[in-house]
Amino acid sequence: MDDAGTTESRIDDAPLRIEIVQTIKPDVDRVWEMIADNDRWTEWFPGFAGCAWEAPDTAGRRGAHRLVRQPPFRVREEITAWEAPHHWAMRVVDIKPKVLASMEETIDLEPDGDGTRITWRLGAKPAVWIRPFAALLRRDQERKLRAAIAALDALERPG
Q: Which H or E element spans position 115?
A: strand 115-126
For position 157, what pLDDT does the model report?
64
Please give the mean pLDDT across all residues of the chain. Answer: 93
How many angstroms separate the CA atoms of 102 and 6, rounded? 13
Q: How far is the CA of 139 from the CAs of 18, 22, 105, 144, in angstroms?
A: 9, 18, 16, 9
Q: How far from chain centre, in Å, is Cα 74?
A: 15
In the chain, the domains with their CATH numbers are: 7-153 (3.30.530.20)
pLDDT band for position 2 (50/70/90)?
very low
SS3 content of the chain, % helix, strand, coil (to 5): 35, 40, 25
51 contacts 41 by C-beta, under 8 angstroms: yes
Q: Which H or E element spans position 112?
A: strand 100-112
Q: What pTM value is reported for the model?
A: 0.92
Burial of residue 87 (number of CB atoms within 10 Å: 0-12, 13-18, 19+): middle
How many angstroms separate the CA atoms of 78 and 152, rounded? 23
Residues of the chain with pLDDT > 90, as a percent, come to: 87
Q: What is the tens place of the pLDDT at every residue in 5-53?
A: 566 778 999 999 999 999 999 999 999 999 999 999 999 999 999 999 9
Burial 135-151 (b: 16+ CB within 10 A, else e): eebbeebbebbeebbee
For position 83, what pLDDT does the model report?
97
